[in-house]
Structure 1
Amino acid sequence: MKLKRNNYCSNPKRFYIRVLLAIISVSLVFECSKRDNVINETLLWPEIEPFQTGYIKVSDMHEIYYELSGNPDGIPVFVIHGGPGGACSPKMRQFFNPQKYLIVLHDQRGCGKSMPNAELKDNNTQALVEDIERLRVKLGLDKIILFGGSWGSTLSLAYAENYPENIKAMVLRGIFLVTRAEEQYFYSTLSNHFPELVQQFIESFPDSTYGLNDSDIFKLFQYEDEEQRSLYMKQFNKIGAMASGIYVNENVIDTYNDSEANFRQIYTMQLVSFYYYANGCFLEEGQLLKNIGNIPDVPIFIVHGRYDMICPPLIAYKLHKSMPGSKLTIVEGAGHSMFEEPIAEELVLTMKELGVLE
């Protein structure tokens, strides 16, 4: 993978795609607070606990957390979480038949239980791709299923393009390819659907020297006044949360944001995500589609919400057209979150279908 190391902070043309990345990231934070209330538990498999947990030292600085659940001899499925800056959660285990699958979850560098938390050094897309490969090798697995949504779909595609020989199948949800089309879509969505939240965010800036651009927002998130810094992060998190689904309760968002216990998660998510989008996700424009031919002819399922306000369905359709043999399902009555009932139901059914194909 060719990495793009340039810093885009001075390039205003790239700003809104970086905002898109931030919204994708903060929407994942909100999912952690709402998932138990959104999903009808009968749609998912029963709760299970991991039979193995551990850490892998992937660099001089980073150790990533991983866990295994389900059937030790089952079909290996790697759950690639969103963000950048997100983390895996126990609920993610419940999308898979525990008798059929070996369920592998891990937290990406600087995220979740991985150490050190919120560390940006030696943290980039290529490193995350190599970490997936290190984990596969450590576990002694051959071919694996990749199950990734939002930023997780981005990282899944990046891994598959670099290690096509290791791919058994792919289940991709809420497709994000880091393209200008997504930038333009999100800018229109944000301005048309959440103008009052954006304006409120801007009006809270310390003075007129701050603008709606990545470098200034990053400064706001490192503001000396801790109370004010928290306010900026909570406001930005609220925008992402409101955009994450169709039926979103604003009071639930405010309650989540006001919890001190949740602030560290919000902080980590936004710090890591802003670092990534300030560097263009370490991907060239259009790189994933350009290299899509590297991915082998294996079962590929693409699931996308019809009313996804974060990642446009058009991008999912373009990915589908670029991958002959892939199956695209546009889910009616659904937005971006994997924990909305229509999306969750489709993902569970997809994994059942994959199990039958085996």
Structure 2
Amino acid sequence: MTDLYPPIQPYARGMLEVDAGIAIYWETSGNPDGKPVVVLHGGPGSGSAPLTRQHFDPAAYRIVLFDQRGAGRSTPAAGAPGADPSRNTTWHLVADLERLREHLRIERWQVFGGSWGATLGLAYAQTHPERVSEIVLRGVFTARQRELDWIYRGGAGNLFPEDWERFLAALPAADRADPLAGYHRLVFDPDPAVSEPAAVAWSGWEGAIVSAVPQQGFRTGYARPAFAVPFARLALRYFAHGAWLEPDQLLRDAGKLAGIPGAIVQGRYDVVCPPVTAYELHRAWPDAELSILPHAGHAVTDPGVLAGLRAATDRFRPQPGPTSRNQVKVRA
């Protein structure tokens, strides 16, 4: 973990009401007067992680983490009583980001996201380019149909056949030709005896393929019902609607990012988000520097990923000056 900065604790946190009855959790850490950066978690539905604070020099950055609607500590949780799924779309999340930026009185911020966080980061930056100073992305995903087909309709199963067999086995035989539709039906079943095992099986497939070298820790973590149920519900709903994006929208509109510096960190052997998408994005957005890591998959802890992300955030951090590392006392 030498490619991470030391662990830190938030100096401020709160709940921000972004819609009637909907509040998102947010926190800030690092230097209160530093360069603002907002971290967009994956999923949809995985929630923010303390480790992501450590991608940034805490003396140079004001680090903003938050949980997207329905995820983590935001309320209500996906599928909870009172949760209205029609009020949780990509464009609601983009609007929430703007509400949070205004609440924190930030003029412009760096956008940092991986996997689904990269999708949301691109959607936000293309909607509000004037509010984005730089973009750092990992494991690029743009929610195109061919990307969803790769993960959930057999492409990745060619590399992980035993896990793919288990993924299909949790479905009735009639649903196996279209696992997305089959799991959507089961995960949203009102009977927890049906929905919870289906969510665990759905999430377990993600945990099996997330790293270039399969790790039991990922399998176990993704299979926890407390994680798997909201994760599966949000992901399946978003994917069933193509994330409310037009076909190829994020690549088509990459020209809106012109002039925004970027860094793309991509694993060569990323089974969840194969590198062709990152490559196509780089071609459409030449202001972004693409680094394809020769030994990495999708997981942030795969070889070279942490170092690549630290190099990117260090590249964009402020130059030493009145708020240099030696002069700022970071609040732990």
- The residue that corresponds to 1:128 in the other structure is 93
Contact 1:81 1:152 in 2 (8 A): yes
More relative contact order in 1 or in 2 (CA 8 Å, sep 6+)?
A: 1
Name which of structure 1's ranges 306-315 and 187-196 shifts more when overlaid on structure 2: 187-196
Deviations 1:115-153, CA, capped at 9 Å, x for gaps: 111132411011100111111111111111000111111
Question: Structure 2 CA distance, aligned partners of 1:179 and 1:257?
Answer: 24
**Cα drift, residue 247 of structure 1:** 2.0
Contact 2:189 2:195 in 1 (8 A): yes
- The residue that corresponds to 2:299 in the other structure is 337
- The residue that corresponds to 1:217 in the other structure is 183
1:313-328 paired onto structure 2 within 5 Å: 313-328=275-290
One-letter amino acid matched to 2:53:
R
Contact 1:243 1:309 in 2 (8 A): yes
RMSD of aligned alpha carbons: 2.0
- The residue that corresponds to 2:7 in the other structure is 47
With the length of structure 1 as denominator, give the TM-score of the two structures: 0.82
- 2:213 is paired with a residue of what secondary structure? coil
Name which of structure 1's ranges 212-221 and 346-355 shifts more when overlaid on structure 2: 212-221
**How has the CA–CA distance of structure 1 residues 204 and 177 changed in structure 2, closer, same or farther, with 3 Å as cutoff?**
closer
- The residue that corresponds to 1:299 in the other structure is 261
Question: Structure 2 CA distance, aligned partners of 1:352 and 1:50?
Answer: 20
**Cα drift, residue 230 of structure 1:** 3.2
**How has the CA–CA distance of structure 1 residues 200 and 130 changed in structure 2, closer, same or farther, with 3 Å as cutoff?**
same
Question: Structure 2 CA distance, aligned partners of 1:75 and 1:253?
Answer: 32
Contact 1:165 1:296 in 2 (8 A): no
- 2:304 is paired with a residue of what secondary structure? helix
With the length of structure 2 as denominator, give the TM-score of the two structures: 0.88
- The residue that corresponds to 1:86 in the other structure is 46
One-letter amino acid matched to 1:174:
G
Across the two proteins, how many residue pairs are aligned to each other? Answer: 313
**Cα drift, residue 201 of structure 1:** 3.3
Question: Structure 2 CA distance, aligned partners of 1:93 and 1:299?
Answer: 21
Contact 1:69 1:98 in 2 (8 A): yes
* 2:244 pairs with 1:282: yes
**Cα drift, residue 229 of structure 1:** 3.8
Contact 1:67 1:106 in 2 (8 A): yes
Contact 2:40 2:114 in 1 (8 A): yes
- The residue that corresponds to 2:60 in the other structure is 100
**Cα drift, residue 61 of structure 1:** 2.4
- 1:174 is paired with a residue of what secondary structure? strand
**How has the CA–CA distance of structure 1 residues 48 and 269 changed in structure 2, closer, same or farther, with 3 Å as cutoff?**
same
**Cα drift, residue 341 of structure 1:** 4.0
- The residue that corresponds to 2:330 in the other structure is none
Q: Tell me which of 134, 143, 147 is aligned to 2:108.
A: 143
- The residue that corresponds to 1:177 in the other structure is 142
One-letter amino acid matched to 2:263:
F
Question: Structure 1 CA distance, aligned partners of 2:149 and 2:167?
Answer: 20
After the TM superposition, list the runs of 4 or more consecutive aligned residues in structure 1 that deviate by more than 6 angstroms.
Answer: none
* 2:118 pairs with 1:158: no
Question: Structure 1 CA distance, aligned partners of 2:232 and 2:310?
Answer: 29
- 2:87 is paired with a residue of what secondary structure? coil
Deviations 1:17-36, CA, capped at 9 Å, x for gaps: xxxxxxxxxxxxxxxxxxxx
Question: Structure 1 CA distance, aligned partners of 2:118 and 2:222?
Answer: 27
**How has the CA–CA distance of structure 1 residues 127 and 225 changed in structure 2, closer, same or farther, with 3 Å as cutoff?**
closer
By percentage of residues, which structure has more helix? 1
Structure 2: tracts of 5 or more residues without a match: 321-332
**How has the CA–CA distance of structure 1 residues 165 and 224 changed in structure 2, closer, same or farther, with 3 Å as cutoff?**
closer
- The residue that corresponds to 1:243 in the other structure is 209
Question: Structure 2 CA distance, aligned partners of 1:227 and 1:200?
Answer: 18
- The residue that corresponds to 2:328 in the other structure is none
Question: Structure 2 CA distance, aligned partners of 1:204 and 1:130?
Answer: 36
Contact 2:264 2:291 in 1 (8 A): yes
- 2:33 is paired with a residue of what secondary structure? coil
- The residue that corresponds to 1:271 in the other structure is 233
Contact 1:194 1:239 in 2 (8 A): no
**Cα drift, residue 292 of structure 1:** 1.5
